[in-house]
Chain A
Amino acid sequence: MSEARGASRALLEVDGLAASYHLRRGVSAALARRPQSVVRAVDGVSLTVGRGEVVALVGESGSGKSSLAQTIMRAHPAQRGRIRFDGQEITTLGSAQLRPLRRRMQMIFQDPYESLDPRFRVRRTVSEPLVIHGIGDHARRAELVSEALRACGLDPPELFLDRYPHELSGGQRQRVAIAAALALEPQLLIADEPVSMLDVSVRAGVLNVLAGLRDSGLGILLITHDLAVAASFADRLYVMYLGRIVEQGPAHEVISAPSHPYTRALVSVTPRRTPRTGGAPQILAGEIPDATRVPPGCRFHPRCPVATDACRRSDPQLEPLPGPGGAAGQHLAACILAPDRRVVQQTSR
């Protein structure tokens, strides 16, 4: 595991990042002078991704995972906070200065049906990034394309080079998208739900490709709502709720000893491969609130099964927990009850 390396000088460092969307008011709202509503999609998030490390970001939809990814990729403006990539501050770089950096940080998207231009053959899709960045001549690019395809399990590449996306299966498309991202040999890959639309039988293949890349030194930020996927691939885990990180730590530790009530609920409802073992799942009522109306105090309190009065008043920050990870400053949770709860839970196991 590469936490030590990551900690010394992380590949990606995000510090107190915030981003929001301004919703358009309808004419009637504007006339009534109702205030423009602001969705605070990302509300003060700090995270790091080290080299050769897979970091998972989990949370329900609407928790702001994708907005965070977009903001890190500078596709959406940051309102507050800082993004540092390989030691360089990129929060406010202009698009011209960003271009060379884009080569080193790539993103893959959830929907393999959508992420490839339907009119481009695989060859053109994968070589497009090379063309954009003016890498290699024609022959060299062809080589690089074949290499990237092979690395993604599309072997032999000749079988795929001349196909259009509609002639590929979903798993193969996703691999082409990964290959296109890898052709530039990036250092950081942000994968937004890369397997959630794939069949189980294919899912493992794509995840194995990502795992192989991690071993060759790539830093991966894996965004997913499936805790099981995160558990089996990530070194570290961040749990996001309503624009904030509510718990973070080494993946196995967060999953085996979840400390924030939200994480605990997530872990308990994640279906296991074997029929329900252990306690009943703790199904939270209702849904994640709309980010235009963030509840005061702890933003989780309306759904929190153990909320107290104090939770309505104070907004807990991430704090280290007792225990191995917490002692090393690795396992943190943002809940006023977290340390106690965790002790209780460990003894009950």
Chain B
Amino acid sequence: MRISDVQSEEVLAGLPSATLAPRPLARATELLRGWSAQVMLGAAVMTLFLLVALIGPAIAPYAVHAQVGHVYASPSPSHPLGLDNGGYDVLSNLLVGARTSMIVGLCAAVVSILIGGTIGVIAGYVGGRTDGVLMRITDYFLVIPDIPLMIISAAVFGRNTRNIVVIIGLIYWTTAARLIRAQVRSLRQRVYVRRAELLGASGRRVLWTHIVPQVTPLLIANTVLMIANAIFAETYIAFLGLGNPTTPSWGAMIQSSLAGGAIFYHAWWAVLPPGIAVTVVVLAATLVGQGLEDSLNPRLRAGHLAVRRFRLRPLHGELERE
């Protein structure tokens, strides 16, 4: 690419933006413009679920651990989603359980990103032996199968919500670490980073002023994606019966209903609602996370080689030349 002093917006419009538009506002609008309808939908759904997590306990019609009717009573006007194996109101449990699921999802995602991000940045920036050791550790974590790790950790540390957050965080930090490390390594090679080093900037300065701000958007996108994983993992842990027995959660609902013979009684209403809730929120988080990731990774549009739908235009009259 060659350059001249012609760099009006037209020229720039033709260039793939290799980096984010830096102005925060411009960046936000850029991101928003890049968002597809799917991403908007995902974001809307996530917002809805967050709202439910916030006010769910307040609007739940019944107490969670109160038997309010027959075991597996089918849906009725007073219990729109029926009752479960304990005779508890499914809707109330669903609304209250949302809080656990969302809290665990968010916190575990943040924990995994904090661990993974830190390790990734250090490994990527320091390089050399440190990088080798950290990546070896990451590899070990990556090959340890999730389920035994969950079972062991739950057995060792006890089954409260905080421990579950930590366990999920510990399981999922590896992806973030590898991703961030790769990004930091490529940033390190960028000329402006090398230039800052040659100016005599200290490593810490280079890291905080040039590298971390550049990987932050990626971290955010990754956190959102991680929320999906974490919510799923929480459900999974609860489903295995390793969850916190005292707080209701979607996974615990599915687990106790299945254990309580919901299938046998054809009580689909006890299993499906939490199942659908998990699916929907996981999907929504994935949509948003992927959308963010896509808009952060602009790919080259090799437009002119593919599309040939240019139009012909008559010159107005026998324009200009004669």
Q: Which residues of A contact B (CB under 8 A)?
A: 73, 75, 98-100, 102-103, 106-107, 109, 111-120, 128-129, 132-133, 164, 166, 168-173, 177, 180, 184, 197-199, 201-202
Contact status of A109 and B22, CB under 8 A, knowing A132-B200, A197-B2 = no
Query: B195: CB under 8 A from chain A?
Result: yes
* Cross-chain contact A199 with B191 (CB below 8 angstroms): no
B4 closest partner in A (C-beta): A199
A133 closest partner in B (C-beta): B200
A168 CA to B11 CA, complexed, in Å: 11
A315 CA to B213 CA, complexed, in Å: 51
A197 CA to B192 CA, complexed, in Å: 16
Contact status of A107 and B195, CB under 8 A, knowing A118-B19, A119-B22, A164-B22 = yes
Chain B residues whose CB sits within 8 angstroms of the CB of A199 once the complex forms? 2-5
| Nearest-Cβ distance from residue A293 to partner chain B, whole angstroms | 26
Q: A171-B4, A198-B4 are in contact. List 15 more A-B contacts (CB 8 A).
A: A75-B194, A100-B200, A106-B198, A113-B18, A132-B199, A132-B201, A132-B202, A132-B205, A133-B200, A164-B22, A166-B21, A171-B3, A171-B5, A177-B195, A202-B4
> What are some 13 contacts across the A-B interface (CB < 8 A)?
A75-B198, A102-B200, A117-B192, A119-B214, A120-B22, A128-B209, A132-B200, A171-B4, A177-B195, A197-B2, A199-B4, A199-B5, A202-B5
| Nearest-Cβ distance from residue A188 to partner chain B, whole angstroms | 12
B210 closest partner in A (C-beta): A117
Chain A residues whose CB sits within 8 angstroms of the CB of B129 once the complex forms? none
A75 CA to B200 CA, complexed, in Å: 11
* Cross-chain contact B199 with A102 (CB below 8 angstroms): yes
* Cross-chain contact B190 with A169 (CB below 8 angstroms): no
Chain B 204-222 near chain A by CB (<8 Å), digits 1 or 0: 0100011001100000000
Chain B 169-197 near chain A by CB (<8 Å), digits 1 or 0: 00000000000000000000011101111
Main secondary structure of the interface of B (DSSP, over half): loop
Query: B76: CB under 8 A from chain A?
Result: no
The interface on chain B, measured as residues whose beta carbon lies within 8 A of the other chain's beta carbons, has a size of: 32
A177 CA to B7 CA, complexed, in Å: 17
Chain B residues whose CB sits within 8 angstroms of the CB of A173 once the complex forms? 3
A245 CA to B191 CA, complexed, in Å: 26
Contact status of A115 and B199, CB under 8 A, knowing A164-B23, A198-B3, A202-B5 = no
B203 closest partner in A (C-beta): A95
* Cross-chain contact B201 with A169 (CB below 8 angstroms): no
Chain B residues whose CB sits within 8 angstroms of the CB of A75 once the complex forms? 194, 197-198
A132 CA to B282 CA, complexed, in Å: 46
- Residues of B1-26 whose CB lies within 8 A of A: 1-7, 12, 17-23
* Other-chain contact of A115, B6, B19, B21, B195 (Cβ < 8 Å): B195
| Nearest-Cβ distance from residue B28 to partner chain A, whole angstroms | 14
* Cross-chain contact B20 with A118 (CB below 8 angstroms): yes
* Cross-chain contact A170 with B12 (CB below 8 angstroms): no
Centre residue among B20, B195, B213 by max chain A CB count within 10 A? B195
* Cross-chain contact A118 with B200 (CB below 8 angstroms): no
A166 CA to B200 CA, complexed, in Å: 25
A202 CA to B197 CA, complexed, in Å: 28
Closest 6 CB pairs of A and B: A170-B3, A199-B4, A169-B7, A102-B200, A114-B191, A118-B19
Contact status of A99 and B200, CB under 8 A, knowing A117-B192, A197-B1 = yes
Chain B residues whose CB sits within 8 angstroms of the CB of A118 once the complex forms? 19-20, 22, 192
* Other-chain contact of A170, B4, B22, B195 (Cβ < 8 Å): B4
A173 CA to B12 CA, complexed, in Å: 14
| Nearest-Cβ distance from residue B166 to partner chain A, whole angstroms | 34
Centre residue among A75, A113, A166, A168 by max chain B CB count within 10 A? A166
* Cross-chain contact B2 with A198 (CB below 8 angstroms): yes
A111 closest partner in B (C-beta): B191
Chain A residues whose CB sits within 8 angstroms of the CB of B1 once the complex forms? 113, 197
A109 CA to B193 CA, complexed, in Å: 12
| Nearest-Cβ distance from residue B86 to partner chain A, whole angstroms | 55
A169 closest partner in B (C-beta): B7
Chain A residues whose CB sits within 8 angstroms of the CB of B23 once the complex forms? 164
Chain B residues whose CB sits within 8 angstroms of the CB of A109 once the complex forms? 191, 194-195
- Residues of B35-65 whose CB lies within 8 A of A: none
A169 CA to B9 CA, complexed, in Å: 10
A164 CA to B192 CA, complexed, in Å: 14
| Nearest-Cβ distance from residue B223 to partner chain A, whole angstroms | 20
* Other-chain contact of B5, A120, A164, A201 (Cβ < 8 Å): A201
Chain B residues whose CB sits within 8 angstroms of the CB of A168 once the complex forms? 7
Chain B residues whose CB sits within 8 angstroms of the CB of A107 once the complex forms? 195, 198
* Other-chain contact of A114, B5, B190, B198, B205 (Cβ < 8 Å): B190
Contact status of A128 and B199, CB under 8 A, knowing A118-B22, A166-B12, A166-B21 = yes
